[in-house]
Amino acid sequence: MSVLPARSRPALMRVHYRDDLRLAPTRASKLRLVLLLAVVIAVPYQLSGSWLTVLDYAAVFAVGAIGLNLLTGYTGQISLGHAFFMGVGAYVAAEFGVQHDWPLLVYLPLAAVIGALVGGLIGPFALRLRGDYLAIITLGLVIIGEYVFDQWDSVTGGGAGVTTAAPVQVGPWNFASLEVFGRQFTREQGLFWLFAIILAIAALLAKNIVRSRPGRAMQSVRDRDLAAEVVGVSQFRYKVGAFAISSGFAAVGGAMYAVLQQYVSPSEWSLLLSIQFVAIIIIGGMGTIFGSILGALVVLSTPELIKRYSDHIPGVIPANGGDGVISAASLNNLLYGVLIVLFLVVQPLGLAALWLRIKAYFKAWPFSS
Partner 1 sequence: MTEFLQLLVSGIALGARYSLVALGFVVVFRSTKVINFAQGGLVVIGAYLTYNAHQTWGLGFWPSLLIGMVGTALVGAAVERLILRRMVGQPTFTIIMITIGLLFIVQEVVTSIWGTGTLDLGDPWGIRVVERNGIVISVKDLWTIGLTIAVLLAFFALFRYSKIGVAMRATAVDQEAAMAQGISVERVFLVSWAIAGAVAAVAGATLAAGPGNLTIGVGDLAFAAFPAVILGGLDSPGGAVVGGMTIGITQVMTAGYQPRWFPSLGAGFSQVMPYVLMIAILLVRPYGLFGTKEVRRV
Nearest to 199 by CA among 55, 339, 90: 55
CA–CA separation, 201 vs 206, rounded Å?
Answer: 9
Q: Is 70 in the site for partner 1 (CB under 8 A)?
A: no
How big is the site for partner 1, counted in residues (CB under 8 A)?
A: 42
Q: How far is the CB of 340 from partner 1 (least distance, A)?
A: 3
* DSSP calls for 308-334: HHTTTSTTBPPTT----SB-HHHHHHH
Q: Is 326 in the site for partner 1 (CB under 8 A)?
A: yes
Q: How far is the CB of 326 from partner 1 (least distance, A)?
A: 4
Angle between helices 104-128 and 131-151 (to 10 degrees): 140
With respect to partner 1, which residue has the nearer C-beta, 113 or 325?
Answer: 325
- DSSP conformation class of 186: -
Q: Is 236 in the site for partner 1 (CB under 8 A)?
A: no
CA–CA separation, 93 vs 11, rounded Å?
Answer: 43
* DSSP calls for 140-185: HHHHHHHHHHHH-HHHH-GGG-EE-----EETTEEGGG-EETTEE-
With respect to partner 1, which residue has the nearer C-beta, 136 or 204?
Answer: 136
Q: Is 117 in the site for partner 1 (CB under 8 A)?
A: no
Q: Which of 26, 29, 270, 333 binds partner 1 (CB under 8 A)?
A: 333
With respect to partner 1, which residue has the nearer C-beta, 148 or 305?
Answer: 148
Q: Is 331 in the site for partner 1 (CB under 8 A)?
A: yes
Bridge partner list, 163: 263
With respect to partner 1, which residue has the nearer C-beta, 36 or 272?
Answer: 272
Site for partner 1 in 255-314 (CB under 8 A): 271, 275, 278, 282
Q: Is 230 in the site for partner 1 (CB under 8 A)?
A: yes
Q: Is 132 in the site for partner 1 (CB under 8 A)?
A: yes
Structure-derived torsion over alpha carbons of residues 220, 129, 83, 335, reported in degrees to the nearest 10: 80
With respect to partner 1, which residue has the nearer C-beta, 78 or 166?
Answer: 78
The backbone region for 243, taken as left when phi is positive above 0, alpha when psi lies in -120 to 50, beta otherwise, is alpha
Q: Phi then psi for 113, rounded to 5 degrees?
A: -65, -45
Q: Which of 101, 106, 212, 337 binds partner 1 (CB under 8 A)?
A: 337
Using CB under 8 A, list all residues that contact partner 1.
72, 76, 78, 125, 128-133, 135-137, 139-140, 143-144, 147, 151, 226-227, 230, 271, 275, 278, 282, 325-327, 330-331, 333-334, 336-341, 344-345, 348
